[in-house]
Structure 1
């Protein structure tokens, strides 16, 4: 009989670290706020770098799990939660400081409610719907736009780069929200036949 594998693989440890780091990041971000000075804010730049590192851990744990052949049920459960926690918390911070619009959070949270409900219904019928590439693109563009907006927050407000970069990352965030809504609709379409099934 083979020995029972531990859930505490390197990949899962990294994922757990990401979950713990998100509230710590928020504490630091709230202490720093969004500066409105005429010079580069190193403290705000630190907030950006901190979040960038949190974002990159998503790639690290995925690589570790696949390369070491240690994909676990616990990891499959926790990894998307860690991603959603990072996205929602950072968007709440940016919304609080007027950097993003409230509808952005609406799209993200509504999509998660929809998909979570659909997953429960589909799973009750013994079916697993595979994640599509839309979800990966959605996560990548959302994280990139958030990192970009946090970077812009650290720049001098009157710098020649601040406005073009802010507009570029706001546009990328719009693209991310389109992909977010699209991936939710795609999941709904794939789940439809199980929703209308009786018995």
Structure 2
């Protein structure tokens, strides 16, 4: 297994750590365990740091794969899957803590499932459908928005009362939906959906 794929797998392995650090512990456990009590207060910061670290490896594994000619079918499968798992995990946890509306998370997750489904159909028909450059822009906006929401609008709250984190989340949502529609429109005709 090459270095690029190892980095991608490391990103996937960071997802359960992100989930474990996210402070959603039962009250009885918080009161009995000092470590859990500490994580209940500061876990969101640790979780956000892990989320940002995992997100940043997306650019790194792609760069290494291209520079050192390490592009593989496994990498083509795992890289977008790792991104989607990380984003979906964060969205679900944020909904559980009422940090974002359920419909926002649903719309973003639904888009990712639809695009993944199209790629699976394309792959079964031996059609190569690479992610376009706008997909990376969408991912950057999602990461920035999710990080801001996880940090409860910090550092923006120090300079304004406007909920910049929520504004960023809606920009990420609009980008996600628009670019998903654009991707479907541009690639749908390449596919054969006949039974």
TM over 0.5: yes
1:46 aligns with 2:46: yes
Partners of 1:26 and 1:148 in 2: how far apart? 17
Cα drift, residue 31 of structure 1: 5.3
User: Retained in 1: the 8 A contact 2:17–2:50?
Assistant: no
1: distance between equivalents of 2:110 and 2:10?
A: 26
Q: State the shift of 1:100 in Å.
A: 0.8
Deviation at 1:104, TM superposition (A): 1.6
- Residue 90 and residue 172 in structure 1: after superposition, are their counterparts in 2 closer, same or farther (change >3 A)? same
Are positions 1:25 and 2:18 aligned together?
A: yes
Deviations 1:56-82 (A, max 9, x none): 111221222122221111111101111
Which runs of 4 or more aligned residues in structure 1 lie more than 6 Å from their structure 2 counterparts after TM superposition? none
User: What is the Cα deviation at residue 160 of structure 1?
Assistant: 5.3
Name 2:143's counterpart in structure 1.
143
Q: 1:11 aligns with which of 1, 4, 8?
A: 4
Q: Tell me: CA distance 1:188–1:164, structure 2 relative to 1, closer, same or farther (3 Å).
A: same
CA contact (8 A) 1:108 1:177 kept: yes
Q: Equivalent of 1:177, from 170, 173, 178? A: 173
Cα 1:160–1:198, aligned 2, differ >3 Å: closer, same or farther? closer
The residue aligned with 1:117 is: 117
- How many residue pairs end up in the alignment? 181
Quick one: structure 1 residues 196 and 13, their matched pair in 2 at CA, closer, same or farther if it must change by over 3 Å?
closer
In the alignment, structure 2 segments of 5+ residues that lack a partner are 27-40
Question: Which segments of 5 or more consecutive residues in structure 1 lack a partner in the other structure?
Answer: 1-7, 34-40
What's 2:158 paired with?
Answer: 161
Contact 1:90 1:146 in 2 (8 A): yes
1:95 deviation in Å? 0.9
Structure with the larger RCO, 1 or 2 (CA within 8 Å, 6+ apart): 1
| Aligned-pair Cα RMSD in Å | 2.7
Deviation string, structure 1 residues 28-73 (Cα, Å, up to 9, x no partner): 113579xxxxxxx544322222221111111221222122221111
